[in-house]
Structure 1
């Protein structure tokens, strides 16, 4: 679950299994008192979150720079503004989301009414990630609060400044009897996972996702797992390369230097287009980050030395020796790696096996662009898939035949910004989805409620069962109108 170090040793005595049990018990008591269920409570907490973002924007930006050296514009666009949009959207729609939804009845239940009533799960645990440490923490918290739950947020210890920020600020702006922050690393997360939760939301990698799921299974706790995968970009020969390469580059290196779950992980193009695509990518990257990208203030750094070493290992793999066609420079002291392009790396190289999560972008080539679909489908299902083409037939084929958590056509990552679209994975890239109303739904149980009065009795449904009753019930179930007439005529039989 990330780097631990001295921070973990110091925190072992302060938060253990007993502490976690006390915490969850107190939260459950608050939830059982009904504190979190009212519209007013939910609305007040959302307003508090929005006020926190507005009043503490400089503090949030400072924490993000401390953790990742994120450029201010990137911090605002990708984290703060998206979080503000999320909470504003929830505040605007909360009343309608909370309303029971009336649904149709059937002859078998006539006369009756039916509703789907959203209710909070109860006490939920949110374990967030380090790469977008503010957004990926606060966004699911917004959904959990909107749905009326008591919440524990466990921020990532790999982004310690943002984690500390949450621990300090949240109690100032929300109800700290129902919304808690637990800092720490493996010890604290393990203690939390030992408790019974009503739902667990985890953002991170598949290895830890399996640990979370196994812990949840002991209590039959439902989970949402926001994971990752190798998100492909397919580039057809009929596109505007200048525009396409800008959108690919900003989706890759403009998202925490590729340290994003939906950042392009590799490009697939045709052998004939590859040289032109490479030339365009090089021009774009130099325009974005200059001739000395390691000196650019517009590139985030690698989060820590462990991830720097992991990425360096991918570049030092003998199988990719000679495959670097642009970039490749590194500065271990400053944890910086320049945007790097690699061409035709072998399928069995380290860089093509696991999600890269960094500023390295391999390009692999195929004879026909349609062959790209087979390449993608030979791998585990990605969190995102991208296609650049003007060919509507290819677009249709891509959408119908590539399974991914989400897609953007002639764009990268922007599907994340549409609150009307669910965001989540499929297969090994995740379970469940959130954003907008999908966040409210993710933390709500949809309770089925059927209501009847004391009229409209059909005695044929009650024992003793006679042949005549059977005929009436069959007619009622199979031919609604006729069955209803028969039931009313013969209800005293």
Structure 2
């Protein structure tokens, strides 16, 4: 570990990673890695998560290829300094903002999307010109091994390294001084990462997740209700069986519409995932399976199960499950579920959903299904979340033009597209001034004239000040009063 980090720092200080040609070549090599090893990626994901090939491509490989292509097509523009205007009082001068790499960065990824959550930040780190250590999750061992074995065959081994290991390895890595840390995982571990980073004043990006709610305005959906329910079902059970930070966590609906909504959800579950629900991935590991099983066995929750609830410990499979009004003080309503359990909370009026959400930690995303524009406006202005999606789920994750990240307990910082480049760059302002003109009012000794001049400096542009200065000087010198 010590030798690897020393080598990476030496590589960064050599300056090689700052060039456009190096950054471009690394991104091209990463794209080639994804194309050459698509089948091997599928195998690793099937071994770790039980995903089908289509899910592997839809959730991981496809988005990564798109992100690499997007970065390659915009890299030169991202690297170019941005010209900015400078107040005329500083004439002659010019200003610009240069994006410079932080240096040596640490990426700690999660097990639920083991390729995407490791390589999506890597795209931004390489585009920005950094050297990188990736610490994959030990809970996706096949994917972790693939990254450790394959990345050195395509990327600069002196600039990118994969360090495998368990939680103790992560703890050891956090003792070193990094120039940036990018972490994806739970709020609990995120606090530990932030605490260790604070010892070195290291900037962090934390992608933490949280309980993402759905506001389901059933009464306004009319003819679109079937599509809306299908999108809810896909957003809860269709992405890694709910083991995703963006997965729907719970649903809010008016009490009078709960029964028809539940009937529609049950029918949709059977249609999409089969009567035995074997068309959804299994739980990724025994640890998460056991945690979810415990949630369902909670006496506070057991009576609220109205659909599903069966578990298969041997195959780590949990049936898509619906809860109706579980106690709000139960664990299932306190912590992020991260699995195929959907609590439905009924309200007297859909407007109560705003206060319900505001009474809890800020979510990563709020999903809302409604045709009521006034309700949309209230949700947008009266709630706080990492993002809002109206009338669909999760698709914002695939939009390179939108930043992806949380707020408060759901995270800090954002990435994707240009925002990934920015996450691993320091925007350095550069001001260059000439010697053509110089005003004495900026220097002592101070007097009443200079005081008036300074007052007006914040109100007038340079040429107005110059005329004023020359006009006042024509009256002679001013004395202190």
Place the TM-score, normalised by the shorter chain, in its bin. over 0.9
Q: Offset at 1:487?
A: 4.3
In the TM superposition, what are the counterparts of 1:457-468 in structure 2 within 5 Å?
Answer: 457-468=438-449
Matches of 1:488 and 1:282, distance apart in 2: 82
Per the alignment, residue 433 of structure 1 pairs with 414
Q: Is residue 474–residue 483 contact of structure 1 (8 Å, CA) maintained in 2?
A: no
Per the alignment, residue 368 of structure 1 pairs with 349
Per the alignment, residue 483 of structure 1 pairs with 465
- Count of residue pairs the alignment pairs up: 471
SS of aligned partner of 1:31: helix
In the TM superposition, what are the counterparts of 1:284-323 in structure 2 within 5 Å?
Answer: 284-293=268-277, 296=278, 298-323=279-304
Matches of 2:89 and 2:47, distance apart in 1: 63
**1:405 and 2:386 are equivalent in the alignment:** yes
SS of aligned partner of 1:119: strand
In the TM superposition, what are the counterparts of 1:313-462 in structure 2 within 5 Å?
Answer: 313-462=294-443
Matches of 1:475 and 1:369, distance apart in 2: 54
Per the alignment, residue 39 of structure 2 pairs with 58
SS of aligned partner of 1:177: coil
Q: Offset at 1:379?
A: 0.6
SS of aligned partner of 2:232: helix
Per the alignment, residue 16 of structure 1 pairs with none
Q: Offset at 1:53?
A: 0.4
Q: 2:152 aligns with which of 165, 168, 171?
A: 171
Matches of 1:23 and 1:110, distance apart in 2: 48
CA deviation profile, 1:194-225 (whole Å, cap 9, x unmatched): 00000000000011101100100000000000
**1:22 and 2:3 are equivalent in the alignment:** yes
Per the alignment, residue 201 of structure 2 pairs with 220
Per the alignment, residue 24 of structure 2 pairs with 43
CA deviation profile, 1:354-385 (whole Å, cap 9, x unmatched): 00000000101000000111111111000011
Identify if the C-alpha distance between structure 1 residues 436 and 472 changes in structure 2 by more than 3 Å, giving closer, same or farther. Answer: same
Per the alignment, residue 261 of structure 2 pairs with 277
Per the alignment, residue 246 of structure 2 pairs with 262
Q: Offset at 1:179?
A: 0.7
Structure 2 residue runs of 5 or longer lacking an equivalent are: none
Higher mean alpha-carbon deviation, 361-370 vs 473-482, is at 473-482
Q: Offset at 1:29?
A: 1.0
Per the alignment, residue 143 of structure 2 pairs with 162
Higher mean alpha-carbon deviation, 253-262 vs 466-475, is at 466-475
- The alignment's C-alpha RMSD in Å is 1.4
In the TM superposition, what are the counterparts of 1:215-254 in structure 2 within 5 Å?
Answer: 215-236=196-217, 237-239=219-221, 240-254=224-238
Matches of 1:282 and 1:351, distance apart in 2: 20
**1:472 and 2:468 are equivalent in the alignment:** no
Matches of 2:46 and 2:469, distance apart in 1: 72
Q: Is residue 27–residue 68 contact of structure 2 (8 Å, CA) maintained in 1?
A: yes
CA deviation profile, 1:167-196 (whole Å, cap 9, x unmatched): 011111110101111000112111110000
Per the alignment, residue 108 of structure 2 pairs with 127
SS of aligned partner of 1:470: helix
Matches of 1:89 and 1:448, distance apart in 2: 26
SS of aligned partner of 2:292: helix
Matches of 1:306 and 1:488, distance apart in 2: 78
**1:116 and 2:100 are equivalent in the alignment:** no
Q: Is residue 241–residue 340 contact of structure 2 (8 Å, CA) maintained in 1?
A: yes
SS of aligned partner of 2:161: strand
Matches of 1:209 and 1:487, distance apart in 2: 56
| TM-score with structure 1 setting the length | 0.93
CA deviation profile, 1:438-493 (whole Å, cap 9, x unmatched): 00011100001101122122232223333333333333332224213234675998
| TM-score with structure 2 setting the length | 0.96
Per the alignment, residue 33 of structure 1 pairs with 14
CA deviation profile, 1:77-123 (whole Å, cap 9, x unmatched): 11100001111100000000011111111133222111111100110
SS of aligned partner of 1:273: helix
CA deviation profile, 1:268-318 (whole Å, cap 9, x unmatched): 00111000100100110000111111xx2x311101111111000110010
Structure 1 residue runs of 5 or longer lacking an equivalent are: 1-18
Matches of 1:456 and 1:98, distance apart in 2: 33
Matches of 1:244 and 1:472, distance apart in 2: 64
Q: Is residue 92–residue 435 contact of structure 2 (8 Å, CA) maintained in 1?
A: no
Matches of 2:260 and 2:231, distance apart in 1: 16
Q: Is residue 234–residue 386 contact of structure 1 (8 Å, CA) maintained in 2?
A: yes
Matches of 1:290 and 1:198, distance apart in 2: 49
Higher mean alpha-carbon deviation, 99-108 vs 137-146, is at 99-108
Matches of 1:41 and 1:76, distance apart in 2: 28
Matches of 1:393 and 1:284, distance apart in 2: 29
CA deviation profile, 1:247-277 (whole Å, cap 9, x unmatched): 0111111110000001000000011100010
Matches of 1:473 and 1:306, distance apart in 2: 66
Matches of 1:30 and 1:417, distance apart in 2: 33
Q: Is residue 476–residue 482 contact of structure 1 (8 Å, CA) maintained in 2?
A: no
Per the alignment, residue 10 of structure 1 pairs with none
